[in-house]
Amino acid sequence: MDIRQLRYFIAIAEEGQITAAAKRLQMAQPPLSQQLKQMEDELGVALVERIGKRIELTEAGATLYKQALNITHQLEEALTEVKETGDGIRGMLSIGVSALSAYRLPEQIRQYQQHYPLIRYQVWKGDTQLLSDWLEKRTIEVAIVRLPHSLGNCVTIPLEEEPFVLIVPAGSPLSMNNEIAMRDVAQHPLIMPSTPGLGIYEMLTKEFTRLGVSPHVICECPDISLTVSLVAAGVATALIPHSAWETHKNENIHCLMVTGTSVSSSAAIVWHAERHLSKAARHFIEMFAPKTGAPDS
Amino acid sequence: MDIRQLRYFIAIAEEGQITAAAKRLQMAQPPLSQQLKQMEDELGVALVERIGKRIELTEAGATLYKQALNITHQLEEALTEVKETGDGIRGMLSIGVSALSAYRLPEQIRQYQQHYPLIRYQVWKGDTQLLSDWLEKRTIEVAIVRLPHSLGNCVTIPLEEEPFVLIVPAGSPLSMNNEIAMRDVAQHPLIMPSTPGLGIYEMLTKEFTRLGVSPHVICECPDISLTVSLVAAGVATALIPHSAWETHKNENIHCLMVTGTSVSSSAAIVWHAERHLSKAARHFIEMFAPKTGAPDS
DNA sequence: TACATCCATATGAAAAAAGTATGAAAGACA
DNA sequence: TGTCTTTCATACTTTTTTCATATGGATGTA
């Protein structure tokens, strides 16, 4: 019993007549009679009652008709679902973000949602090492990280660059100013939005070294919102990407532009170089890193 | 896309390998590869990812796998349901009963249920004319009526015969006796469990005429339990089939055997002579009129 | 590097499905 | 009642689909 036969039977049931059903199916009548008989033989059950010229469903036939409708509908829906999944307009998109990039994600997903409303998401947050593991294990398909990263065997597409800003507690003397030189940042207690070994930490440290100063790091905190809270509480100052300031700003902290340095932060979308990327992931990359064009697999 | 291909895909998905899937399906590997490719072409979607020797499902493939499991299971269940319906162990059995036979039905259905637990019922109650209409319109498949009936074009299988009894109010003088002659029944106010034109009414009337007496009919009531209530209330006496007495007896009425007459009541199962009888209906007939054997269509 | 394993392609054989021709039975209508 | 039409079933042929065998390329392994 296959789908084709179910469709045949639906036509027969609805037309109430083999000849008409054959016409509707655009086929000759004899093969349809044959198929009907074959179905009855296979099931060992009479599906129709031959009353002279007319034909009428038996109870078993009526049961089969209902079920056949169900099944063919379900199959159709299944196929469109598969097609949509293949086309990337339906399915699961699993994304990993580093702590410093996490704040961007909600807006990105909201935007993506408007174009692809059927997509569902898995969002993971973790440090570079975890992201790398997750990419490897396919827990996530793409990751959004801060550059520089240390992920091996990955395609990296940088998003726009942005400067670092220094955030300080609202009441502190520094909050009178609107900018500060990078080398002067070293004079103030500093929270690093990262930990040793990670890209940002190393990059900032290197920059201070280049300027011949040594920062007064009193805290390392790889969670951006916690970092901001610490600053708001007056614990210290912190260097964070400008956009992170935009999303976390409040009346308890003040922001200073940092001058006299070229270090900047740049987020990037990365994914495993030798892996199949789902259409959904490609769409995501296209939307947020459109200049590069979407990779072709 | 047909069921066969879904089964193929299930095997491929579960084995994770075309060769192994082919072995499990007891077929050669090349045609399976072909079918897989054909499915991908039809859907316009990659279902598996060829990673060197290995094969892995894409998201679309995983979606198809889940749906394929659903659909094949549903098909299997549908087919067994159709078979069972055809075999008469599942489905709808619609039965009509006359008022005088209704009291038997619950026990009959209870009994039938024990053999065919998947059968569901539609039970209708009405007079001969209604039953005839319902048989004609296929509202009901079989009817249980009192003989004689006036149903045209029907097969009739009588159930066992049973005598009429006279029921009288518990306190009445008649309740001292245990039997009464038919001709003496005419001396007492009588409720006929039927109305003119119906079989039972005519049969009883004819019998009184034959005996040269005229019954004192003060009420006609084609509802047996209402008839019994009327007697219990002391309105009159009533002639009813013995089994009706058995099911309705209570302390307010007394029962007398009727002698000096050969009239008896007999229920019968009837059905449309030229109609297809469902297996379920045949089973029902076999169970309650086994002597005749089941008719063959 | 040789070997085994797995998938893909090509080609021919077998099976299944569809088409054509035709007959029998049932309803319609003069 | 007897044609005439309609409808389903059967016999036979053609076409399509599916499967199997042979074989080559790619990948991972001893």
Nucleotide lying nearest to B35, CA to C1' measure = D18
Tell how far CA A125 is from the center of its chain: 13
Structure-model confidence comparison of residues A290 and A213, the more confident one: A213
Residues of B in contact with A74 (CB under 8 A): 67, 70-71, 74
- Provide the positions of strand C that have an atom within 7 A of a protein CB: 5-11, 17-22, 25-27
* Protein-proximal positions, strand D, CB < 7 A: 6-11, 18-23, 26-28
Express each pLDDT in A55-111 by its tens digit.
889 889 999 999 999 999 999 989 988 998 888 888 888 899 987 788 778 888 999
Count of CA atoms in the C-beta half-sphere (13 A) of A205: 13
Round to a whole number and report the distance in Å from the CA of A246 to the C1' of D9. 80
Q: What pLDDT does A292 receive?
A: 53
Enumerate residues 6+ apart whose C-beta is below 8 A from B255. B165, B166, B167, B168, B245, B249
Report if CB B3 to strand D is under 7 Å. Answer: no
Beta partners for A241? Answer: A164
- CA atoms of B82 and B97, how far apart (whole Å): 28
Any idea which nucleotide's C1' is nearest the CA of B16?
C6
- Residue B53 contacts strand C, CB under 7 A: yes
Query: CB burial class (10 A; 0-12, 13-18, 19+) of residue B288?
Result: middle
Specify whether the CB–CB gap between B119 and B112 falls below 8 A. yes
Residue among B59, B85, B91 whose CB faces A278 most closely = B59
The nearest CA of chain A is from the CA of B22 a distance in Å of: 20
Task: Choose from A82, A275, A283 for mutation: most chain B CBs within 10 A.
Answer: A82
Cα separation of B166 and B170, whole Å? 12
Mutate to test the interface with B, among A1, A59, A77 (most CBs of B within 10 A): A59
Determine the nucleotide nearest to B54 by Cα–C1' distance.
C6
How far apart (Å, rounded) are the C-alpha atoms in residues A199 and A148? 5
- Per-residue pLDDT tens digits for B239-259: 998 888 888 888 989 999 999
Could you say which of B63, B83, B92 has the minimum Cβ distance to residue A45? B83
CB–CB of B79 and A46 under 8 A? no
Check CB contact under 8 Å for B74 and A74.
yes
Asked if the Cβ–Cβ distance from B92 to A64 is below 8 Å, we say no
Point out the nucleotide closest to A54 (alpha carbon to C1′).
Answer: D7
Are B268 and B97 a contacting pair, CB within 8 Å? Answer: no
B53 CA to D28 C1', in Å?
Answer: 8
Task: For chain B, list the domains and their CATH numbers.
Answer: 3-87 (1.10.10.10), 90-158+266-292 (3.40.190.10), 163-264 (3.40.190.10)
Q: Compute CA B42 distance to the chain's CA centroid, rounded to the nearest angstrom.
A: 47
pLDDT at B291: 58
A36 touches strand D (CB under 7 A): yes
> Which nt is closest to the CA of A29, judged by C1'?
D8
Does the C-beta of B34 come within 7 A of strand D? yes
Q: What is the pLDDT of residues A256-288, one digit of tens each?
A: 999 999 888 888 899 888 777 888 888 999 998
Chain B residues with CB-CB distance to A48 below 8 A: none
pLDDT in tens, B77-112: 899 889 988 888 888 888 999 877 887 788 889 999
Facing residue for B79 by CB, picked from A1, A79, A276: A1
- With CB atoms and an 8 Å threshold, state whether A81 touches B63: yes
Cβ A268 vs Cβ A144: under 8 Å? yes
Residue A3 CB closer than 7 angstroms to strand D?
no
pLDDT tens digit at each of 297 positions of chain B: 999 999 999 999 998 989 999 999 999 899 999 999 999 999 999 899 888 778 889 889 999 999 999 999 999 989 988 998 888 888 888 899 987 788 778 888 999 999 998 888 988 888 777 888 888 777 888 999 887 777 777 888 988 888 999 999 988 898 898 999 999 999 998 988 877 777 788 889 889 999 999 898 888 887 888 888 889 888 889 999 888 888 888 898 999 999 999 888 888 899 888 777 888 898 999 998 875 544 443
Assess contact for A181 and A208: CB atoms under 8 A. no
* Token duo for residue A255: 């922001």
Q: What is the overall mean pLDDT for chain A?
A: 87
Task: Please tell me which of the candidates B45, B86, B92 has its beta carbon nearest to residue A86.
Answer: B45
- One-letter amino acid of B119: I
Q: For chain B, how far is it from start to end, CA to CA, in angstroms?
A: 39
Strand residue runs (E) in chain A: 48-51, 54-57, 90-97, 118-125, 142-147, 154-169, 179-181, 189-192, 216-220, 237-241, 253-259, 264-272
For the cut 60, the answer to whether the pLDDT of residue A37 exceeds it is: yes
Contact B63 A91 (CB under 8 A): yes
The two three-digit tokens of residue B82, written as one number = 């159709």
Residue among B4, B9, B38, B59 with most chain A CBs within 10 A, to mutate = B59
- Encode pLDDT of A198-242 as tens digits: 778 888 988 999 999 989 888 888 788 888 888 999 888 999 988
Report the nearest residue to nucleotide C9, CA vs C1'.
Answer: B30
Q: Is the CB of B29 under 7 A from strand D?
A: yes
Residue A72 pLDDT = 92
d(C-alpha A141, C-alpha B131), whole Å: 69
Query: Tens of pLDDT along A56-66?
Result: 898 899 999 99
pLDDT digits (tens, 9 = 90+) for A152-174: 778 899 888 889 999 999 988 98
Q: Do B276 and A49 touch (CB under 8 A)?
A: yes
Across the interface, whether the CB atoms of B81 and A67 are under 8 A apart is answered: yes
Nearest residue by alpha-carbon distance to C1' of D11: A30
Q: What is the pLDDT of residue A291?
A: 58
**What is the reported pLDDT for A296?**
44
A111-120 confidence digits (pLDDT tens): 999 999 888 8
